[in-house]
Amino acid sequence: MTQENSENSFAELSHLDKQGQAQMVDVSGKAPTVREAIAIARVKMLAETFTAIQAGNAPKGDVLGTARIAGIMAAKHTASLIPLCHPLPLHKIEVQVTPDPQLPGYQLQAIVKTKAETGVEMEALTAVSIAALTLYDMAKALEKTIQIEAIQLVSKTGGSRE
């Protein structure tokens, strides 16, 4: 690949400059629009662990409430954690932790909303990831084999590509 071809291919990638160096994308020319992202995760555990958490018998206290608050806090700090993310004004952060006895474990969902020049999918993914990690941390005294699974973005709306 010649230097010229290399520079042209880098120019097509929004997070790389002409020399192939990582950069934060310039979104200053974009109009702010309402944007929303929803991400999910699953936390799977033994039935005994699930039962103890549901009964409020975890050694560290309120497992589910702590996980939910951790997810909300994480969404607000995404730009500090992910190097090329833009700091965004977040207008809604909702983290739900729903028991699933069939798993057994919990389904987590984060809904993040803003009115900005770029989307909030990383904030939603960060929220469910940290909520899941916090759930693990709060329950690890009960079980060391808890599994965090299926972290994924399920929808995003807003912006010009919608």
Residues catalogued as catalytic: 137
d(CA 71, CA 146): 18
CA-wise closest residue to 124 among 115, 106, 111, 107: 111
Q: Is 4 annotated as a binding residue?
A: no
Q: Is 12 annotated as a binding residue?
A: no
Structure tokens at 120: 């909030």
Q: Is 85 annotated as a binding residue?
A: yes
Please, are residues 116 and 92 in contact by the beta-carbon 8 Å criterion? no
Q: Is 153 annotated as a binding residue?
A: no
Write out the H or E segment, with its range, that includes residue 121.
Answer: helix 121-139
Q: Is 86 annotated as a binding residue?
A: yes
Please, are residues 112 and 123 in contact by the beta-carbon 8 Å criterion? yes
Tally of helices (H runs) and strands (E runs) in the chain: 5, 4
d(CA 46, CA 105): 8
Q: How many Cβ atoms from other residues are within 10 Å of residue 71's Cβ? A: 31
What residue numbers does the annotated binding site for substrate cover?
84-86, 122-123
What residue numbers does the annotated binding site cover?
84-86, 122-123
